[in-house]
Amino acid sequence: MIIVTTDNVSNYQVTETIGYVKGSTVQSKNIGRDILAGLKNIVGGEIKEYTEMMDDARKIAVARMVRDAEEKGANAIVGFRLVSSAIASNASEIVAYGTGVKVVNS
């Protein structure tokens, strides 16, 4: 699956626009990460446990978006974006979305 943030794929021609495709996941913190985060807040620095959690969440959301695009018949996604939001005091949602298209090498 070709995924780009642009509206076009270099050296490819869009032959069909499939439409909106997306994938999402909600991740919650766990007590172990919260304790480490609390310690980091005192001494400062990156909270690597949260960085890893959000990286995993992005991978899951993108994989689900790709599956959605494939199920709809797309072989590329243009206009790719990632959005995150807090949906509860201890949970964040990651949404990956874009436009599914069919492309051919030109």
Q: pLDDT for 5-62, tens place per residue? A: 999 999 999 999 999 999 999 988 765 555 555 665 666 677 777 788 889 999 999 9
Return the CATH number at 53.
3.30.110.70
Neighbours of 6 (CB within 10 A): 9
Of 105, 21, 25, 24, whose CA–CA distance to 71 is shortest? 21
Q: Domain span at residue 34?
A: 2-105
pLDDT of residue 58: 96
Cβ partners under 8 Å of residue 2, min gap 6 = 9, 12, 75, 76, 77, 103
pLDDT of residue 106: 87
**Opening angle at CA 62, ends 68 and 10, nearest 5:** 90
Domain count along the chain:
1
Mean pLDDT value across residues 50-79: 95
pLDDT of residue 9: 95
The per-residue pLDDT for range 89-106, each reduced to its tens digit, is 778 899 999 999 999 998
